[in-house]
């Protein structure tokens, strides 16, 4: 039985190996022109800042000031030290600055190491985890806000915090939102619709039309199987599903089943043949359309592209256009997720769950949280356990905490062939559903969205899909990150996006020639997809068909099953 808050094996072993490599790669000789000069300079900068800090502190005390003049400041956007005491109180100011100086010294040492780029990336990541862990804001004795709350509440905040900690330990995860504030099917995933098909892998939802006429060709959405689909249908004002329906599209959506032990042997090919391809077929049949438009997000985009490559190889041209949202097809640079991927780790997964088993959704959720630890871990440790406060109700974080398991064989195959060996980009290297796949066969128009600050799918990596797909591509770069950049409602007209860059293999060159547009990319996309949606027909209010009768109201049973 696992201990509460246990780390995934990849994280724990990766931290150990990164530490070993750190000391192994430190330059020990005085080689001219080597990295010794860089390390020496880092050491010199460290002692210069420490001396300046000590001098400033002494000068401030001599002058009767409560705090020394700052020698170093947090990076822009660092919200950990916003409390006034971190600047006005001499002790806390010293503590903060000493922490920041030490953190920068560790970062400089990493950059001075002689590791290759991949190993240095890992070392950089795990060093940042340690730096974030060591912040004085994370401990009751060194956080002025925690101490103030304890004094004002006569200690009850600490008692409440301990109670919340014990509750979360029973659940095995840190609470990041008030889960009692939301209910799937009522406050989130509440768009009207019906489940019109289901099998052992997914339910297919058909949403009710919101316009008197609709485009003849429906939109079929393939969300990631590593998360619940309702990130695309949170609440009416930020629901992508509702937006598409309001624009006159008939929307079908795949609701993946949350795997249990009965799916422990499920392979990647099943997600294509019995999942994506089946959904496309059923939606087209119900809509009585010649073709459909397909959209995949994140892993859903990788699944959709794989399915389309199989379909086109077999002469199936029933998909008119493809939209990929923050999806990877070329895994050369997978960003920080790459630090968890190596031969030893993948082989370990293959020899355990790869032969039958489940990868727990909570472990995968923890991995994603570590990518933004100062946003998704430590603020909640401080707020929940040190201050004794309840987390706020936030629909996006409720979805984030609603994790999904993965079948071990499917997950292990995905890790090796995509992340580790990057085989999907190579024509005919992989065989799926008995067919050699070549992304170049995907010759329908494609809309590719990446986001500027994406920490899961780096935008330059997503851009490489323009060089792999065989049809005309429209690449768009949205502002913000993996989630907020996608869920950017048109009605709020926030943020911006870039279009029209110079085509070619160089993502930087594309951006140089791109034009910044204000507002949401949703408006740009709907104009694009409408070109491939066919003529208008009268909307049918009755869901399903004679062959595919409605099974239950949306959002269906599958999405309500929580990971064990």
pLDDT 10s digits, 490-526? 988 889 999 999 999 999 999 999 999 999 999 999 9
**Per-residue confidence (pLDDT) for residue 3, from 0 to 100:** 39
What does the angle CA 373 – CA 412 – CA 115 come to, to the nearest 5 degrees? 55
- Architecture of the domain spanning 193-332+422-560: 3-Layer(aba) Sandwich (3.40)
pLDDT in tens, 6-46: 555 655 555 555 555 555 555 544 444 444 447 888 889 99
Ranges 89-93, 112-116, 184-188: which has the least confidence:
112-116
- Alpha-carbon distance of 556 to 547, in angstroms, equals 19
Residue 222 Cα distances to 31, 205, 300, 304, 323, angstroms? 55, 11, 5, 7, 10
Express as a percent the part of the chain with pLDDT over 90.
83
Contacts by residues 113-116 (CB-CB < 8 Å, ≥ 24 positions apart): 113/21, 113/22, 113/25, 113/26, 113/27, 113/35, 114/25, 114/26, 114/27, 114/35, 115/21, 115/25
Residue 393 Cα distances to 176, 178, 347, angstroms? 9, 5, 40
Whether residue 60 has pLDDT greater than 90? no
Taking each continuous run of H as one helix and of E as one strand, the counts in the chain are: 20, 17
- Angular region, 252: left φ>0, alpha ψ -120 to 50, beta rest: beta
| Strand, coil or helix: 479 | coil
Ranges 20-29, 283-292, 437-446: which has the least confidence:
20-29
Mean pLDDT value across residues 130-137? 96
Beta bridge partners, 223, equal none
Secondary structure string (H, E, C) spanning 370-417 = HHCHHHHCHHHHHHHHHCCCCCCCCHHHHHHHCECCEEHHHHHHHHHH
Mean pLDDT computed over every residue of the chain: 91
Please state the domain extents for the chain: 9-170, 193-332+422-560
Contact 254, 230 (CB under 8 A): no
**Token couple for 380:** 């909640």
**Per-residue confidence (pLDDT) for residue 76, from 0 to 100:** 87
Query: Would you call 173 a catalytic residue per the annotation?
Result: no
Query: Does pTM top 0.85 for this prediction?
Result: yes
* 447 backbone dihedrals φ, ψ, rounded to 5°: -110, 120
Considering 173, 225, 245, 298, which one is annotated as catalytic?
Answer: 298
Mean pLDDT value across residues 203-220? 98
**Token couple for 439:** 């992304």
| 274: DSSP letter | I
How many C-alpha atoms does 98 have within 13 Å on its Cβ side? Answer: 15
Ranges 10-19, 112-121, 413-422: which has the least confidence:
10-19
CB-based contacts of 173, cutoff 8 Å, min separation 6: 5, 362, 365, 366, 401
Mean pLDDT value across residues 553-559? 98
């Amino acid at each position: 039985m696992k201990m509460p808050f246990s780390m995934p094996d990849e994280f724990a072993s990766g931290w150990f190996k990164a530490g070993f490599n750190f000391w192994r790669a430190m330059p020990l000789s005085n080689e001219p022109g080597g990295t010794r000069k860089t390390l020496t300079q880092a050491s010199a900068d460290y002692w210069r800042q420490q001396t300046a800090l000590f001098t400033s502190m002494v000068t401030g005390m001599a002058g009767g000031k409560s705090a020394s003049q700052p020698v170093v400041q947090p990076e822009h956007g660092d919200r950990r030290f916003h409390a006034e005491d971190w600047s006005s109180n001499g002790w806390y100011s010293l503590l903060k600055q000493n922490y920041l100086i030490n953190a920068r010294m560790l970062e400089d040492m990493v950059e001075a190491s002689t590791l290759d780029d991949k190993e240095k990336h890992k070392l950089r990541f795990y060093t940042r985890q340690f730096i974030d862990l060591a912040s004085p804001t994370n401990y009751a004795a060194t956080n002025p806000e925690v101490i103030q709350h304890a004094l004002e509440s006569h200690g009850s905040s600490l008692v409440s915090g301990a109670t919340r900690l014990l509750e979360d330990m029973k659940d095995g995860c840190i609470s990041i939102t008030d889960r009692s504030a939301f209910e799937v099917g009522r406050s989130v995933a509440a768009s009207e619709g019906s489940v019109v098909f289901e099998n052992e892998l997914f339910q297919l939802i058909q949403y009710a039309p919101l316009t008197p006429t609709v485009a003849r060709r429906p939109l079929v959405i393939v969300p990631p199987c590593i998360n619940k689909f309702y990130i695309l249908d949170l609440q009416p004002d930020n629901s992508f599903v509702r937006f598409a329906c309001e624009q006159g599209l008939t929307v079908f959506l795949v609701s993946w089943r949350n795997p249990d032990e009965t799916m422990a042997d499920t392979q990647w090919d099943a997600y294509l043949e019995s999942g994506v391809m089946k959904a496309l077929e059923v939606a087209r049949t119900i809509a009585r359309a010649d073709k459909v438009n397909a959209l995949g997000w994140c892993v859903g985009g990788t699944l959709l592209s794989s399915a389309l490559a199989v379909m086109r190889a077999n002469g199936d041209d029933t998909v008119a256009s493809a939209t990929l949202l923050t999806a990877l097809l070329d895994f050369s640079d997978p960003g920080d997720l790459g630090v968890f991927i190596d031969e030893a780790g993948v082989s370990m997964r293959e020899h355990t769950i790869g032969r039958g088993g489940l990868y727990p959704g909570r472990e995968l959720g923890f991995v994603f949280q570590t990518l933004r630890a100062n946003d998704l871990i430590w603020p909640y440790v401080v707020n929940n356990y040190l201050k004794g406060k309840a987390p706020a109700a936030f629909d996006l974080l409720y979805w984030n905490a609603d994790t999904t398991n993965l079948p071990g064989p499917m997950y292990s195959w995905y890790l090796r062939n995509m992340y580790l060996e990057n085989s999907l980009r190579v024509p005919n290297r992989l065989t799926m559903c008995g067919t050699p796949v070549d992304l170049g066969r995907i010759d329908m128009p494609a809309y590719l969205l990446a986001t500027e600050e994406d920490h899961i799918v780096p935008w330059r990596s997503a851009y490489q899909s323009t060089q792999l797909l065989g049809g005309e591509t429209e690449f768009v770069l949205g502002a913000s990150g993996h989630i907020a950049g996608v869920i950017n409602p048109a009605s709020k007209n926030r943020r911006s996006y870039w279009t029209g860059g110079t085509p070619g293999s160089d993502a930087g060159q594309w951006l140089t020639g791109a034009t910044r547009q204000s507002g949401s990319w949703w408006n740009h996309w709907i104009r694009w997809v409408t070109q491939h949606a066919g003529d208008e027909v009268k909307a049918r209010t009755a869901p399903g068909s004679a062959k595919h009768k409605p099974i239950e109201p949306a959002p269906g049973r599958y999405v309500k099953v929580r990971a064990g």
